[in-house]
Structure 1
């Protein structure tokens, strides 16, 4: 069964539209929106790394309050959602490239 969050030949973008619905881009991957999406993905992944460092510090701090921990867990959830979207998008594009390599000219 196909993933309802991807479509053949379309790129899942690293942001959502109205009501949190996924946004897709159809194209060759070389245009302006593709470059913006690449930059947004890069920022999201970099922020996830920074957040992990902050979480490690906070978990090592025995004086961390429940409010601080709840806050960082909320940010982790947001970050995980973004990283998951990037992974789905990149995985779908890799699968498309693999199919095209197996069936050139289609």
Structure 2
């Protein structure tokens, strides 16, 4: 078993709005499964909200208050998805950077490619 030094960022906040963390090496424990399910639900809701936003914005007949409510919902979903991404990113195993054969940092583009 490998030791896990990072705390898991949970997909919900505490009563005071601060982030909640879980310290465990058991990814199959009750709280870990609960967090996994909450993350899956948050991602599903965000996907559905994106589809809804595209439909509503495509209509063009939206009242300012409806647009404000949609923006607030999309912002909340984006916050949740960001938290899921941060949490999952922290749990990824470290990787070595790719080695480059010529000591190059990557492909070179001509200056004209940048306008």
TM-score interval w.r.t. the shorter chain? 0.7 to 0.9
Which residues of structure 2 form unaligned runs of 5+?
Answer: 96-115
RMSD of aligned C-alpha atoms?
1.1
**2:16 aligns to what?**
19
TM-score normalised according to structure 2 size: 0.75
In 1, Cα distance between equivalents of 2:76 and 2:6: 27
> Which of these two proteins has the greater Rg computed from alpha carbons?
2
Q: CA deviation at 1:30?
A: 1.7
Q: How does 1:47-62 map to 2 (within 5 A)?
A: 47-62=45-60
Which residues of structure 1 form unaligned runs of 5+?
Answer: 1-7, 100-106
Q: Which has the higher contact order (CA 8 A, sep 6+)?
A: 1
The structure that is helix-richer by fraction is 1
Count of residue correspondences: 90
